[in-house]
Structure 1
Amino acid sequence: MPGRPNPTLRQRRLGAELRRMREQAGLGGSQLARVLGVSPTQVTQMESGKTSVNVDRLHTIMAACNYTNQSLIGALAEIIASRGKGWWEEYRGLIPNAFLESAEHEDFAAGTVKVWTSVFLPGLLQTSEYAQGMFSRKIPGLTAREIELRTSFRRKRRDTFLQSPGKKLEVYVHESSLLTRFGGTDVLREQLFGVVDDSVRANVSVRVVPFGVHTHPGPIESILYSFGAVSELDTVEMESSRGPIFFDAPDELESYRSTFDRIERAALTCEESRDLIQRTARSLKG
């Protein structure tokens, strides 16, 4: 049976964890295939997310690998059970799949999501006008319809996350992102006041890394670190011009946790940041 041509983020992550489980047990793909009574190709497809895995097969793989992390097994079983389509599916075929993957990633997060940006304000806090300003600068240019669709998607993504029970957003931005005028001065001013309003939400914190810090504490790229149902399911998303890049290997996660620790140490407090954003907004002139 041919596999899925485009497995979702959840399906790929389930497969990646199955591969790690097998590799930690020192089993080759052919060895596991014999235990399961399937072909090595099917094992490869399961580990790439291209073939479905039910809970019974998950437990068979766990037993074959002598795997005892019941917390992770339970979380993987939840991934298997969550086969419903997310709200972002209504946009499939209308906007690039990269947008949908970012929305699925935020939905996949079990609780806190940390974001770092250094050039622009993060999508989860953007106003419609600011988002339009960002999309309007794309080369080659987008049509008015394409800009409208991407903007409405970003707005729904923002509203869905901020209204999701149990979700918390921790935003860290470099001061330079407060000055980049996507959409013009008036748009930026209203965007900054919007960030101030969002920053007093119970589930949102915003902290600024000021120009005066000794060094630039984070990467140039924008990154999003989400905490999974268990720590093994934490995920990092890095934004690039070609779409999001996801990282989930244990050493990569540890590296990005250290990166956020360094950013947090360099950032102003929430109150200091709110004051700086307000002062910047009021100082903007056309």
Structure 2
Amino acid sequence: MAPRSAPTARRLRVGTELRRLRERAGMAAVEAARALGTTQAQISNIEANRFGVSADRVHTLAHIYGCTDQPLVDALADMAADRTRGWWEEYRGTMPAPLLDLAEMEHHSTALRVAQVINIPGLLQTPDHARALFREAVPALRPHEIEHHVSHRIKRQAVLFRDQPVPYTAIIHEAALRMQFGGSQVTHAQLDHLIKVSEQPHITLRVIPFDGTSFPTAGHGLDYAHGPVTALDTAQLDTSHGSELIDAVGKLETYRLVLNRMEQATLKPTASRDLIRRIAKDT
């Protein structure tokens, strides 16, 4: 079997979780290989996702490792069996791989929670607002690259408007609502869009007002994708050097607490919508 040249973050996660199951069982790779009737190199290749792994093999390895968390095992088997190629693959080679992983993460999530202080969350941006942001990218993007990024961002938004949309909670600081990216006309249209989408039953928008209480991590943006089981959740951080995916159990627990704390500092959805309306009138 030929090795995978560029496994996605989702497929790499299968190998990562199998390694974690083995380590929790206190079993060395050579012992796992002996129990499976294969080589240590094959176990290493499975865990690094250099080769594909079948759903049956996932179940077999979980049994060898004594894992009794059946929902987790079933979810991993489903991930291993999924060979579909999403729309984001058409951007491979023209867009940074982490952005494709983000789109894949959102597509397969069971719920999404995001927090932004300076920017409007990407899934809620209008094309003109997104375009204004990408014009300020460092290093600078060429015009056609800007359009690639805008189209990719807008296509990501399909998770909120498909037949079975993803439940979505966005925590936005008032500062992000008052930023004039693209000028007043673009900003006003963006605020109107937020008001409209916040009326959707599966979209919850909560604003942290300037006169609110303090809140944690007042810097980078945070996206949190809930998986089929908590152990398969993923957090995504926006940093100056790009997107970073987090799947370590301890860190995920921390980011869930961060989001809970931030949400406690927000206005309720109706009051948040009213504040956006007031800001839009002043824009």
The two structures have a TM-score, normalised by structure 1, of 0.94
Give the Cα–Cα distance (whole angstroms) in 1 for the partners of residues 160 and 243 of structure 2: 18
SS in 2 for 1:171: strand
CA contact 2:55–2:78 (8 Å) conserved in 1? no
Q: Structure 1 vs Structure 2: percent identity of aligned residues?
A: 37
Q: Any residues of structure 2 matched to 1:31-50 within 5 Å, and which?
A: 31-50=31-50
Give the Cα–Cα distance (whole angstroms) in 1 for the partners of residues 73 and 122 of structure 2: 32
Q: Any residues of structure 2 matched to 1:190-269 within 5 Å, and which?
A: 190-269=189-268
Of 173-182 and 162-171, deviating more is 162-171
Give the Cα–Cα distance (whole angstroms) in 2 for the partners of residues 166 and 198 of structure 1: 12
Give the Cα–Cα distance (whole angstroms) in 2 for the partners of residues 26 and 234 of structure 1: 24
Of 195-204 and 247-256, deviating more is 247-256
Deviation at 1:66, TM superposition (A): 1.2
Give the Cα–Cα distance (whole angstroms) in 2 for the partners of residues 180 and 216 of structure 1: 20
Q: Which amino acid aligns with 1:256?
A: Y
1:168 equivalent to 2:167? Answer: yes
Which residue in 1 is equivalent to 2:23?
23
Q: Which amino acid aligns with 2:102?
A: S
Give the Cα–Cα distance (whole angstroms) in 2 for the partners of residues 40 and 164 of structure 1: 45
Which residue in 1 is equivalent to 2:81?
81
Give the Cα–Cα distance (whole angstroms) in 2 for the partners of residues 57 and 63 of structure 1: 10
Give the Cα–Cα distance (whole angstroms) in 2 for the partners of residues 200 and 239 of structure 1: 27
Q: Any residues of structure 2 matched to 1:173-188 within 5 Å, and which?
A: 173-188=172-187
Which residue in 2 is equivalent to 1:274?
273
Q: Any residues of structure 2 matched to 1:122-137 within 5 Å, and which?
A: 122-137=121-136
Which residue in 2 is equivalent to 1:106?
106
CA contact 1:88–1:104 (8 Å) conserved in 2? yes
Deviation at 1:87, TM superposition (A): 1.0
Unpaired runs of 5+ in structure 1?
none
Of 120-129 and 204-213, deviating more is 204-213
Which residue in 1 is equivalent to 2:117?
118
Give the Cα–Cα distance (whole angstroms) in 1 for the partners of residues 137 and 55 of structure 2: 44
Of 187-196 and 141-150, deviating more is 141-150
CA contact 1:206–1:270 (8 Å) conserved in 2? yes
SS in 2 for 1:44: helix
Tell me: CA distance 1:139–1:69, structure 2 relative to 1, closer, same or farther (3 Å). Answer: closer
Which residue in 2 is equivalent to 1:67?
67
SS in 2 for 1:205: strand
CA contact 1:131–1:151 (8 Å) conserved in 2? yes
Q: Which amino acid aligns with 1:270?
A: P
CA contact 2:98–2:244 (8 Å) conserved in 1? no
Give the Cα–Cα distance (whole angstroms) in 2 for the partners of residues 122 and 75 of structure 1: 28
Q: Which amino acid aligns with 1:267?
A: T
Give the Cα–Cα distance (whole angstroms) in 2 for the partners of residues 37 and 152 of structure 1: 48
RMSD of aligned alpha carbons = 1.5
Give the Cα–Cα distance (whole angstroms) in 2 for the partners of residues 280 and 113 of structure 1: 26
Which residue in 2 is equivalent to 1:57?
57
Which residue in 2 is equivalent to 1:147?
146
Deviation at 1:227, TM superposition (A): 1.2
CA deviation map 1:37-56 (0-9, x unaligned)? 33323222211222211122
Give the Cα–Cα distance (whole angstroms) in 1 for the partners of residues 160 and 88 of structure 2: 12
Give the Cα–Cα distance (whole angstroms) in 2 for the partners of residues 62 and 141 of structure 1: 47
Unpaired runs of 5+ in structure 2?
none
Give the Cα–Cα distance (whole angstroms) in 2 for the partners of residues 112 and 183 of structure 1: 30
Give the Cα–Cα distance (whole angstroms) in 2 for the partners of residues 161 and 81 of structure 1: 25
Give the Cα–Cα distance (whole angstroms) in 2 for the partners of residues 10 and 54 of structure 1: 14
Q: Which amino acid aligns with 1:168?
A: P
CA contact 2:106–2:112 (8 Å) conserved in 1? yes
The two structures have a TM-score, normalised by structure 2, of 0.95
CA deviation map 1:223-275 (0-9, x unaligned)? 11111111111111111233221112221121111111101111100011101
Give the Cα–Cα distance (whole angstroms) in 2 for the partners of residues 61 and 159 of structure 1: 36
CA contact 1:107–1:161 (8 Å) conserved in 2? no
Deviation at 1:164, TM superposition (A): 4.9
Give the Cα–Cα distance (whole angstroms) in 1 for the partners of residues 260 and 139 of structure 2: 38
Deviation at 1:172, TM superposition (A): 0.3
CA deviation map 1:70-105 (0-9, x unaligned)? 111111111122111001111212222222111001
- The number of equivalent residue pairs is 283
